[in-house]
Structure formats: C-alpha cells, structure tokens
C-alpha cells in the first residue's frame, strides 16, 4: 500500500507477452525439463537442486543447438548456444545473466554465449554463478529495443512495448532500478 504504481515495459514475442525474460538454447531446455508437467518441487532448496542436477546432466548429454541473434537490426551472433532476452534481472542470485536489465528503460538486455564446447559452456555458467573474476569473458551482453532470434530457418522477433503494464512497486524500487542501470556490472554492447 506504500508503494508506487508505475507503468513498466513488457516484451512481445509473436502473440506472447512477457515481463521477465525469454530464453533459448541450453537454459531453456533445462527449465522445460525441470518444470515439465508442473512436477518441479515446491520447496526452494529441492527446486534449486533439481535445476542444478538437470543442468549437470544436460551439459553432459545435450548437444548445443546454434541460434542466430540480431539486436536492433545488427547481427551479434550466428551460433549462440544460449540466449536470454530480458527486461528484468534474470535468475537473480541463482544465475545473474542480465544484472542491469530494467522494466523502465525501454530496452532489452540480451545475454549471449557464442558457440563453445560443452565444457566451455559449463565453465562460463559456473564463473557467472559464482561471480568469479573474468566471468564476462567469452559471453556477450547487448542492449536494444528489437531482438530477432533464429534457429533452423525459424526466426522469432521480440520487441519492447513501452509502459504497457501497471505494477505496484515497493518504496524505493524505482530509484534502485535507475541506480542499477548505471552501475558497472559487465560489458554491455549496444549495436547501432
């Protein structure tokens, strides 16, 4: 009741509206497997263990699928094995891929891991999870209003819809979002 109602941005992917993120490749497959038929554990610790167990198994058994990525009309990857398009901080403490993403800036943050071996993928995710030095090496973070992700001849266009959803934000969150956008957390490349 003490918060502030603020119109926030949403993403549009075809007919699907999303507030948080849309992922492709490795992380999307892990999430689908754990959440299949809504069988994921309700207990937070058991749920996290299910994601970790599935991820470890997936790194060993799942061949990487290549995705092409364009941000604001500029090709940024031809063969990405993991893509996350977000307008909020993705996976928070679990796996911070888009630490400066914001639902009030009119842009997506686009996290990309280009083609790498299974071990390279696991190493990059491990460094990001533990926030190790050099964690942004071998990955890319872009920012833009329109993103096109392609795979096997199918291209999905995602775009930001400005100020489309009214949300009640807790006191101080708008200022925190604005501060987070300027804090140095990783390299952001903005095409065009």
pLDDT band at residue 114 using 50, 70 and 90 as cut-offs: very high
Q: What is the pLDDT of residue 168?
A: 87
Asked if the model's pLDDT at residue 137 lies above 50, the reply is yes
Torsion of CA 32, 166, 181, 115, to 10 degrees: 20
DSSP-assigned letter for residue 63: P
Note the pLDDT tens digit of each residue in 78-101: 999 999 999 998 887 788 899 889
192: pLDDT strictly greater than 50: no
pLDDT attached to residue 77: 96
* Burial 165-175, CB ≥16 within 10 A → b, else e: eeeebeeeebe
């Amino acid at each position: 009741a003490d918060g502030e109602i603020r119109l926030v941005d949403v993403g549009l992917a075809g007919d699907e509206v999303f507030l948080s993120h849309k992922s492709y490749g490795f992380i999307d497959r892990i999430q689908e497997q754990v959440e299949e038929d809504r069988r994921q554990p309700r207990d937070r610790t058991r749920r996290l263990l299910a994601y970790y167990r599935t991820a470890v198994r997936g790194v060993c058994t799942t061949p990487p699928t290549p995705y092409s990525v364009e941000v604001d009309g500029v090709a940024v990857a031809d063969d990405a094995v993991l893509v996350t398009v977000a307008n909020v901080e993705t996976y928070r403490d679990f796996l911070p891929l888009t630490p400066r993403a914001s639902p009030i800036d009119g842009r997506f943050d686009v996290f990309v891991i280009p083609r790498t071996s299974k071990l390279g993928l696991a190493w990059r995710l491990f460094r990001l999870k533990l926030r190790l030095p050099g964690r942004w090496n071998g990955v890319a973070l872009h920012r833009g209003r329109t993103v096109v992700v392609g795979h096997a001849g199918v291209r999905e266009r995602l775009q930001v819809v400005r100020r489309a959803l009214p949300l009640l934000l807790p006191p101080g969150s708008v200022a925190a979002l604005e501060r987070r956008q300027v804090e140095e957390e990783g390299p952001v490349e903005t095409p065009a």
